[in-house]
Structure 1
Amino acid sequence: MKQAILLISVLVSLFFFLSCENPKQVAESQQDSIIVIQETQEWAILPFTKVDSANPILLAEKNTSFFCPVSQKKVFWEANDVYNPSTVVRNGKIYMIYRAEDTVKTVNGTSRLGLAESEDGIHFKRLPQPVFFPDNDEMKKYEWMGGCEDPRIVEDSSGTYFMTYTAYDGKVARLCVASSKDLLQWKKHGLVFKNPKNRDRWSKSGAIVCTLTQDGKMIATKIKGKYVMYWGENGLIAFSNDLLTWEFLADERGEPKSVLPKREGQDIFDNALVEPGPPALLTEKGILLIYNGASKDKTTGGISNYCGGQALFDKNDPTKLISRLDTPFIQPEKDYELTGLVNKVTFVEGLSYFKNQWFLYYGTADSRIAVALASIK
């Protein structure tokens, strides 16, 4: 009897599916998440598997010291936390630029950027000194003493690396840009929004649209004559002619206009914040943006539980959102993701295609670095 009932149920569901002009109507009518997931899998990079045998792959290092040119003191520059890395493929290896914090408690640690390299994408060897840090230069007023945070790196067609990063003076976060030929020596180019009226605007997290090459390089790519960057904490967008000076899309009031807004709903994973992750990918199906979503704590109303999402924009109109995942593809579950400087955080920021796999690097609980893999091409 149970088998007969099950067979009838399946036949009814199949008839209902075939009778609809649009398969999505089935998902909406039956709230069938499987159909929605099947639709989105055609453009999203799924699934990712956390490398439990190796995670976390990078931890704070208590003994590496650095003479800070601003404080004129020796500091243990990565003794507190390491997290939120960006990665590039170069000379058959993965190079990681990661954020590290010292133990200075005035601003919960000054951030500097370190460099590590890996032949397999899992085991990294890092340099003992940071490669990017606050200095006695024209950017000191923006970078000291909070530091230089959360890098994202792309290349241009000549092989020059461009890095967006957040300068934090302890009060205001400002999105900045720097360039390098070798990932070691960097030239600071200042704020990305150079208009004086935006100098003190809170800005961060610049993910530039790029094209993936066969050898794993992420090349910044113009769309209709402009470079494109998703940025900020509510799905914002900006445009540039040269990767150095940017203008954001504004609403009628002159304020940044969201193209990927946070969503309403008590159980939505991105109802509190939407923040870009790695550089966005220009694909045949559209522009794929992997982003970080945060949810509201149901008890306190504050921000809690950073998870990863994916969204697709029109490849000819980067302001036009086509689709986005309804559920996070990565979220805090492991002990090293649940507890740390900030609890319950998986913050995705580095993405590289290497050895026929996607390597996704992310900060865990703002304290460590982990990796997840996807085999889809």
Structure 2
Amino acid sequence: MTGRPGIPARTPATFPLGPFTPYEGNPVLRPQGTGWESGHVYNAAATVVDGRVALLYRAHSPDLVSRVGLAWSDDGFTFEREPEPVLEPTEPYETHGCEDPRIAVIDGTYYLTYTGWDLSSAQLCLATSTDLHTWTKHGPLFPGFDTFLPAGDGTARTWSKAGGILEQQVDGRWLMFFGEGSIWHAWSDDLIHWTPASNDEPLLTPWPGGFASFLVEVGPQPVVTADGLVLLLHNAAVRLPDGAVRYTCGQVVVDPARPTEVLARMERPWLEPETYEDTHGLVSNVTFVEGLVLFRDTWFAYYGQSDSTLGVATCPVGRGWDEPDGIRRRREAAS
């Protein structure tokens, strides 16, 4: 197995990755108690630590101020939660919440991107840790950037949600994809300070007539395919006639040497709202993926269900779209 120049092939991923099967026992996390996670629990980053799955999940009480909790699992499905949040608002740019974490693990350090929300601006922020409990905050990464351009309504804003860091270097630098509305890339020499692409150089923008006609947004951390390309799972939304939105999940593949160009994209979602939890909640009709791990020869994709509960879908390594179930799903997607 060989990679493309500058990036090794270490991950047994293919494009498209899947098909994924939602777990029959979903949701794997629900709100609980009367405190900080009593309202809604959803949108989780995922990593594997010492043979266990660790979830860093978004939660809030009815006041909607988000915090990040930590839960552990031996099988990827059944989780034990720690009693207190591990990340919560302390800074002016996050007065109303630390939202929607994504995680990368590099040389023993956890790099957590999350959204700082102050009721006016949503800003992509970075925190680092060596133990998942004590975090050092490094502040907003892209002040003044607007990821809703060029597909936005022309309103000037600071908006830079969602960031996924590639865990392998590309020609000696680190690569991140970020954005809600459209998706961009950024480079870093030290994983702390990031230089974004120009606001007029998006990688992926909404496209008419499909499941991403309203917006696209970064999903989990990207992974490398067997042939050295970068696979990015992303979220997508359409605006419904009544003004509501419907979120589904797609995939694109990118040459890391040319991160402003999509080589291929799925034209139909690989995950979409189907169950009661997917279609009823704080924001209904949402499947929103933020966590992806390879655990015990199975891919686990963790996703928020209508901004209220957390589900998981799985795909065993070696099972591809050419398997019998995959053929059925591909025919359905093409119909």
Decide: shared fold, TM above 0.5: yes
1:47 corresponding residue in structure 2: 19
Structure 2 counterpart SS, 1:56: coil
Amino acid of the residue matched to residue 172 of structure 2?
A: G
How much has 1:87 moved relative to structure 2? Answer: 0.6
- Which residue matches 2:298? 357
Q: 1:243 corresponds to which letter in structure 2? A: L
Alignment CA distance shift 1:134-1:376 (3 Å): same
Q: Which residue of 1 aligns with 2:154?
A: none
Does 2:173 correspond to 1:231? Answer: no
Check the 8 A contact 1:193/1:245 in 2, yes or no: no
Residue of structure 2 equivalent to 1:372: 313
1:191 is aligned to 2:114: no
1:120 maps onto 2:75 in alignment: yes
Task: Find 1:174's aligned residue among 116, 119, 123.
Answer: 123
Q: In the aligned structure 2, how far is the partner of 1:166 from the partner of 1:238?
A: 16
How far, CA to CA, are the matches of 2:281 and 2:145 in structure 1? 33
Specify the alignment match of 1:57 in structure 2.
Answer: 28
How many residue pairs match? The answer is 294
| CA–CA distance in structure 2, aligned partners of residues 42 and 176 of structure 1 | 30
- Inter-partner Cα distance in structure 2 for 1:43 and 1:173: 31
Give the root-mean-square deviation of aligned CA atoms: 1.6
Report the alpha carbon displacement of residue 241 of structure 1 after superposing the two structures with TM: 1.2
Q: Which runs of 4+ in 1 moved over 3 A?
A: 197-200
Asked if the contact 1:287–1:318 (Cα under 8 Å) also holds between the matched residues in 2, the reply is no
Is 1:155–2:105 an aligned residue pair?
yes
Q: Report what 2:205 is aligned to.
A: 261
Do the aligned residues in 1 keep the contact of 2:14 with 2:226 (CA within 8 Å)?
no
1:256 Cα deviation from its structure 2 partner = 4.7
By how many angstroms is 1:319 displaced? 2.3
Which structure has more relative contact order (CA 8 Å, sep 6+)? It is 2
- Native 8 Å contact 2:145 2:160 kept in 1: no
Q: 1:315 aligns with which of 256, 259, 269?
A: 256
Q: Which residue of 2 is the match for residue 326 of structure 1?
A: 267
Aligned partners of 1:81 and 1:366 also within 8 Å: yes
With over 3 angstroms needed to count, the CA separation of the structure-2 counterparts of 1:247 and 1:348, relative to structure 1, is same
Q: For residue 56 of structure 1, report the CA deviation from its aligned partner.
A: 0.5
Matching of residues 16-31 of structure 1 within 5 Å: none
Say which SS state the counterpart of residue 142 (structure 1) adopts: helix
CA distance in 2, matches of 1:315, 1:57: 34
Q: Secondary structure at the match of 1:207?
A: strand
Partner letter of residue 32 of structure 2?
E
Alignment-mate amino acid for residue 147 of structure 1: G
- 1:290 corresponding residue in structure 2: 233
Instruction: Tell me, yes or no, if structure 1 residue 206 matches structure 2 residue 163.
Output: yes
**How far apart are 1:245 and its partner, in Å?**
1.2
Instruction: Return the alpha-carbon distance in structure 1 between the equivalents of residues 290 and 97 of structure 2.
Output: 18
Distance 2:313 2:260 in 1: 29
- Does the Cα contact within 8 Å between 1:283 and 1:315 map onto a contact in 2? no
**Rounded Cα–Cα distance in structure 2 between residues aligned with 1:269 and 1:303:** 14
CA distance in 1, matches of 2:116, 2:255: 31
- Residue in 1 aligned with 2:59? 100
Structure 1's unaligned 5+ residue stretches are 1-40, 64-75, 210-219
Taking the aligned partners of 1:342 and 1:256, their CA distance within structure 2 comes to 30
Structure 1 residues 249 and 352, CA gap change in structure 2 (3 angstroms): same
Q: Is the 8 A contact 1:278 1:351 kept in 2?
A: yes
Quick check: 1:83 aligned with 2:42?
yes
Measured against aligned partners, the alpha-carbon deviations of 1:111-170 in whole angstroms (never above 9, x if no partner) come to 0000000000000000110000012xxxx21010x21000001111x2110000000001
**Higher Cα Rg: structure 1 or 2?**
1
Correspondence for 2:197: 249
TM-score, normalization by structure 2:
0.85
- 1:198 to partner: Cα distance: 4.8
* CA distance in structure 1 between the aligned counterparts of 2:137 and 2:171, rounded to whole angstroms: 27
The equivalent of 1:16 in structure 2 is none
Gaps of 5+ in 2: 1-12, 147-156, 319-335
Q: For the residues of structure 1 that align with 2:14 and 2:315, how far apart are their CA atoms?
A: 14
Whole-Å Cα distance in 1 between the matches of residues 169 and 200 of structure 2? 21
Distance in 2 (CA, whole Å) between partners of 1:89 and 1:153 is 11
Cα distance between partner residues in 2 of 1:244 and 1:315: 20
- The 1:239/1:173 distance shift into structure 2, 3 A limit, reads same
Instruction: Report the AA paired with residue 286 of structure 2.
Output: V
